[in-house]
Amino acid sequence: MSDLIIRPVARADHERWLPLWEGYNAFYGRSGQTALAPEITAMTWSRFLDGYEPVHALVAERDGALLGLVHFLYHRSTTAIGPTCYLQDLFTAAAARGQGVGRALIEAVYARAAEAGATRVYWLTHETNHAAMRLYDQVAERSGFVMYRKLL
């Protein structure tokens, strides 16, 4: 993977980032009638480019093509002084799966979180996402916590 570049997203990446973002959302059933509203995507994109926002995006690039994305954010915790890093979105283009792109994106988040003083990176995945969980079991440990939510 020496020719793979992991870097922060840039304003000029929008048209190449968007299909990955749409693929990620489609994977989780957010397409068609349940698609995210365009203003949510627009706001998400603008947050990546705003230095005052705690939301960040990295992309994996090879030969000018974007192969994957990862979005992460920092937040406070009651159990640590430094920030905690939540890896919110991770997606690899279908043609690039199994080539180490996802692992490289996760490792890049680890490095940036450490630089920011975070002591923990965590994320969620759907219990049916077995392919991703094979990777996650190699690069992190399962916490054992169960997520509950209430949509408002």
pLDDT band at 2 (very low <50, low <70, confident <90, very high): low
Residue 146 lies inside a defined structural domain of this protein: no
Residue 149 lies inside a defined structural domain of this protein: no
Residues 8-61: tens digit of each pLDDT: 999 999 999 999 999 999 988 887 777 788 999 999 999 999 999 999 999 999
Residue 151 lies inside a defined structural domain of this protein: no
- Statement: residue 5 has pLDDT above 80: yes
- Statement: residue 104 has pLDDT above 50: yes
Q: What is the pLDDT of residue 35?
A: 79
Of 95, 87, 86, 43, which Cα lies nearest the Cα of 66? 95
Residue 41: how many CA atoms within 13 Å on its side-chain side? 17
Alpha-carbon gap, residue 117 to 129, rounded angstroms: 30
pLDDT band at 1 (very low <50, low <70, confident <90, very high): very low
Residue 55, domain CATH? 3.40.630.30
Residue 145 lies inside a defined structural domain of this protein: no
Tally of domains within the chain: 1
Residues 106-133: tens digit of each pLDDT: 999 999 999 999 999 999 999 999 999 9
Alpha-carbon gap, residue 1 to 134, rounded angstroms: 19
Residues 49-103: tens digit of each pLDDT: 999 999 999 999 999 999 999 999 999 999 999 999 999 999 999 999 999 999 9
Alpha-carbon gap, residue 152 to 123, rounded angstroms: 22
Give me the domain span that covers residue 107. Answer: 5-139
Residue 111 lies inside a defined structural domain of this protein: yes
Tell me the whole-structure pTM to 2 decimals: 0.93
